[in-house]
Structure 1
Amino acid sequence: MSQYITDTTQLKCDKGASRTPLTVTSQSFMSIDGKLQATEEDKQPNINIKPFGVCSILRSSCTPSPIKWDNTSDFEIEGKKELLDNSTCQCSVGGEISVVNISQNFVEE
C-alpha cells in the first residue's frame, strides 16, 4: 500500500550523485506525525527540491528542473494532489526524481 510523504522525505535523482530532503511549502495545515504533507505543487527547484550533487548528464551541479509529479494520490489538499512514496517527477534535463526514504514513523499493531 502506498504511503503519503511529508516534509524532509529523502529524494533522489537517477542522474544525480546524492540525495536531498523535500521541503514542503505548498500547504500549511495538513500534517502526518507533525510534518507537513507533500503535494504535487512541491516541485520548485532550490526551494522544495535542492540540488542532487553532480549530474551525470550535465557533468556539473545537479540543480533540479522538475516538470510534473506523476503517480500522485487521488486525494487532494486545497485542489493539489497528495504525493505518495511511489510518486516520481521527471526532470527537464533528463533524470527522474523519486522517493528514497519517507520521513514519518508508523506504528504497527
Structure 2
Amino acid sequence: MSYSLTDNTELKCDKGTTPAPITVTSQSFMSIGGKLQATEEDKQPNSNIKPFGICSVLKSSCTPSLVKWQDTSVFEIDGKKELLDSSTCQCSVGGKISIVNSTQSFVKE
C-alpha cells in the first residue's frame, strides 16, 4: 500500500550525507493533517529540497538537481501527480532521491 507525501517529509540522496525535508510549493489547497500534499512539481533545489550534506560524487555540497519524479500516484492535484512514499527521483549528478522511512504520518492512498 502506498502513502501520500506531505510537507516536511524527510528525503535522502544515496550520494549525500544528510537527509533533508521536502517543502511543498506546487499547490496550496490539498492537505492531510494540516500539511500540504507534495506533487511531482516539488523538485526545485533550495526551494523544495535543501542540500543533502556533502555529495560523494562531487565532494562538495549535495545540492539536488532533480530530473523527474518516478512512481508517482495516478491521482493528480491541479494537473500534477501526487508523490508517494514509493516515489523516487534521479539527480542529474548521479544520486537517487527517496523517502526516509521514519516517523512520518503517511495517509493511505
Query: In structure 1, what residue type is equivalent to 2:84?
Result: L
Per the normalisation by structure 1, the TM-score is 0.94
Corresponding residue for 2:105?
104
- Evaluate the alpha carbon distance shift between residue 42 and residue 81 of structure 1 in structure 2; reply closer, same or farther with a 3 A threshold: same
Matched residue of 2:67: which SS? strand
CA offset at residue 105 of structure 1? 5.9
Maintained 8 Å contact 1:26/1:41: yes
Ranges in structure 1 where 5+ consecutive residues have no aligned partner: none
Q: Which runs of 4+ in 1 moved over 2 A?
A: 101-106
Distance 1:6 1:102, change over 3 A: farther
* Matching residue of 2:40: 40
Percent of residue pairs bearing the same amino acid type: 72
Query: Is 1:28 matched up with 2:28?
Result: yes
Matched letter for residue 92 of structure 2 = S
How many residues matched? 106
1:103 deviation in Å? 3.2
Match of 1:14 in 2: 14
Structure 2 residue runs of 5 or longer lacking an equivalent are: none
8 Å CA contact 1:71–1:87 kept in 2: the answer is: yes
| Alpha-carbon distance in 1 for matches of 2:89, 2:77 | 19
In structure 2, relative to structure 1, the CA distance for the partners of 1:60 and 1:13 (3 Å cut) is same
Structure 2 letter corresponding to 1:17: T
Cα separation, partners in 2 of 1:68 and 1:105, compared to 1, 3 Å: closer
Matched, 1:74 2:74: yes
Q: 1:103 & 1:22 partners in 2: Cα distance?
A: 12
